[in-house]
Chain A
Amino acid sequence: MTLTQFIKKVLFIEILQGLALTFKHMVAPAITRQYPDEKREPVPGSRGLHALVRNPLSGKEKCVGCGLCAAMCPSQCIHIYTSEGDDHNKVVDRYEIEVLRCVFCALCVEACPYGAVALTEHFEYSGYTREEFYYTKERLLENWDKYMAGAKGEEYFEKFWRPKSIDFKPSVKELQTKERAGK
């Protein structure tokens, strides 16, 4: 032990430094938020409760029942049941998410080619039963209306996810050729 080390030890220099630090923190304002009273604005694009996107034109869900989200889901909490419609189209009968099993990885949002499933910024949900967290298609569509409707929902996909429908959307010219071929 050198002399300086000895003097430091005898005079408690390090302990005094520690005391000075804690005193400094005591005078400085605390960083705690009084949660239920003062809420923090959710970060844009944060991953909260699930929603199914409502198509503003048809008023129905955008989902076509391809099942990519369910296939991608690592916790396998998405269940999709489809059937054949009147004019041989696919109809989504049931689209259900077990929110309690979800890990909020947002792989479903990433996988969806139509931008039909979304994670809202709403994170304060709680309940007394498991059934409350079993979200059916209707409840998921309600979530969209509640938390993401309007410009916010459009902005959500543009800003944080690039839905593959942008890249794969048929151009007007292609649509016209298709129509002519059909005739």
Chain B
Amino acid sequence: MTEMEMLIIVVKTVIIVSVFMLFVMYAQYFERKIIAHMQARLGPMRVGWHGILQPIADSLKLFLKEDIIPSSSDKPIFYIAPIIGVIAALCSLAVIPFWEGLGVANLNIGILYILALSSVGAYCVILGGWASNSKYSFLGGLRSSAQVISYEIPMGLSLVGVMMMTGSANLSDIVKAQSEHWFLWYQPLACFVFVMSAIAETNRAPFDLSEAETELVAGFATEYSGMRWALFFMAEYASMFVMTALGTICFLGGWNGPDFGIFAHVPGIVWLTLKMSACIFIYFWIRATLPRYRYDQLMSIGWKIFIPLSLANIVVTGLVKILWIAK
């Protein structure tokens, strides 16, 4: 690898991380705005035009806040937990192809890499909950560990269908295989299971049991404040970002757009951004609509419905591939 190539990779990384930080700030702004309007409120309105500078004010506030560490906490783990979450989520960004050849790394096991890092991301919640030495955090962390373990299985299995159709775990290859038709039309069941598991995997409503405000104060983040809490927040949005990117790439055709008229000249990254924004809007929309599931409901949905459904999907995909397509 020449120095030039390394420089390009560094520049790409810097651009992706900074764009991603902006995304985290403004995703939070739009989440507040969208949910407010769904509840007939206005949301942030005071900082700048329609509160457009609110995320900047918020992050300034979080930077300047006092760093409180509980005296009886397990300090090294308490420090490390939020950092693990952010790093795991940011590392997953490396393999996402934003356009033809526009990704930091073109890994031939992209899907596996993202799934593995999302499991590592679960450690931030578990360790944070454990190290806080508070019963709310502890319960939140334990719930999250069980939840993430249960939902990783259907999520991985739902992506197996996609990998079978492409014959590759490389994300760029998956997008190229969808240049004609999106996999959403071939794998609707897998797509459904993936969306639900992604919501559960990122601890978002209606499966946000690890931070259930009504019973656990703030769950695993109860004892965290200021910048450390912001890191947790960033990790949550980062994993949302990664999951929407993965969903878009595996089911919605990635950077492929309609190829007629003016649309053919629109760069692929615009299509990817549009599709991802739509997916993130669905995240917010579901959060504004559905109440939180009970813990046993969450578990039974995961084990009794999603895992059998995704297994059936694999069997059917395999049969179709052998019986019809291979002939």
A interface residues with partner B (beta carbon < 8 Å): 15, 18-19, 21-23, 25-26, 28, 30-32, 34
Q: Give the residue of B40, B42, B286, B290 whose beta carbon is less than 8 angstroms from that of A25.
A: B40
Q: 6 shortest A-B CB distances, which residue pairs?
A: A22-B38, A32-B42, A26-B37, A22-B289, A26-B38, A18-B289
Q: How far is the CB of B279 from chain A (nearest CB, A)?
A: 15
Q: Check B289 against A31 for contact (C-beta < 8 Å).
A: no
C-alpha gap A32/B45 in the complex (Å): 11
Q: Check B289 against A25 for contact (C-beta < 8 Å).
A: no
Q: A residues within 8 A CB of B39?
A: 25
7 contacts between A and B (CB under 8 A): A15-B290, A22-B289, A25-B37, A25-B39, A26-B37, A31-B40, A32-B40
Q: How far is the CB of A54 from chain B (nearest CB, A)?
A: 40
C-alpha gap A32/B42 in the complex (Å): 6
Q: Is B288 an interface residue (CB 8 A)?
A: yes
Tell me which residues from 1 to 48 in chain B have a Cβ below 8 Å from any Cβ of chain A: 34, 36-42, 45
C-alpha gap A21/B41 in the complex (Å): 15
- With A18-B290, A34-B42 in contact, is A23–B285 under 8 Å at CB? yes
C-alpha gap A30/B51 in the complex (Å): 15
Q: B residues within 8 A CB of A25?
A: 37-40
Q: How far is the CB of B247 from chain A (nearest CB, A)?
A: 18
C-alpha gap A25/B290 in the complex (Å): 15
C-alpha gap A19/B34 in the complex (Å): 13
Q: How far is the CB of B190 from chain A (nearest CB, A)?
A: 16
Q: A residues within 8 A CB of B34?
A: 26
- With A26-B37, A30-B36, A30-B37 in contact, is A19–B42 under 8 Å at CB? no
Q: Give the residue of B41, B285, B286, B290 whose beta carbon is less than 8 angstroms from that of A30.
A: B41
C-alpha gap A128/B37 in the complex (Å): 35
Point out which of B34, B37, B41 has the most chain A C-beta atoms below 10 A from its C-beta.
Answer: B37
Q: How far is the CB of B133 from chain A (nearest CB, A)?
A: 39
Interface of A is mostly: helix
C-alpha gap A23/B35 in the complex (Å): 10
Q: How far is the CB of B144 from chain A (nearest CB, A)?
A: 24
Extra 9 A-B pairs, beta carbons < 8 Å, given A25-B37, A30-B36, A30-B41: A15-B289, A18-B289, A19-B285, A22-B38, A23-B38, A31-B41, A32-B40, A32-B42, A34-B42
Q: How far is the CB of B80 from chain A (nearest CB, A)?
A: 38
Q: B residues within 8 A CB of A30?
A: 36-37, 40-42
C-alpha gap A21/B39 in the complex (Å): 10
C-alpha gap A15/B301 in the complex (Å): 16
C-alpha gap A26/B40 in the complex (Å): 7
Q: How far is the CB of A6 from chain B (nearest CB, A)?
A: 13
Q: Check B45 against A34 for contact (C-beta < 8 Å).
A: yes
Q: How far is the CB of B45 from chain A (nearest CB, A)?
A: 6
Q: A residues within 8 A CB of B290?
A: 15, 18
Q: Check A19 against B286 for contact (C-beta < 8 Å).
A: yes
C-alpha gap A25/B41 in the complex (Å): 10
Point out which of A15, A21, A22 has the most chain B C-beta atoms below 10 A from its C-beta.
Answer: A22
Q: Check A28 against B289 for contact (C-beta < 8 Å).
A: no
Q: B residues within 8 A CB of A26?
A: 34, 37-38
Q: A residues within 8 A CB of B45?
A: 34
Q: B residues within 8 A CB of A34?
A: 42, 45
Q: Check A32 against B38 for contact (C-beta < 8 Å).
A: no
Q: How far is the CB of B32 from chain A (nearest CB, A)?
A: 13
Q: A residues within 8 A CB of B286?
A: 19
Contact pattern, B 32-75, Cβ under 8 Å of A = 1, otherwise 0: 00101111111001000000000000000000000000000000
Q: Check B289 against A19 for contact (C-beta < 8 Å).
A: yes
Tell me which residues from 279 to 303 in chain B have a Cβ below 8 Å from any Cβ of chain A: 285-286, 288-290
C-alpha gap A34/B44 in the complex (Å): 11
Q: B residues within 8 A CB of A18?
A: 289-290
Chain A residue with the shortest CB-CB distance to B39? A25
Chain A residue with the shortest CB-CB distance to B291? A18
C-alpha gap A22/B290 in the complex (Å): 10
C-alpha gap A17/B288 in the complex (Å): 13
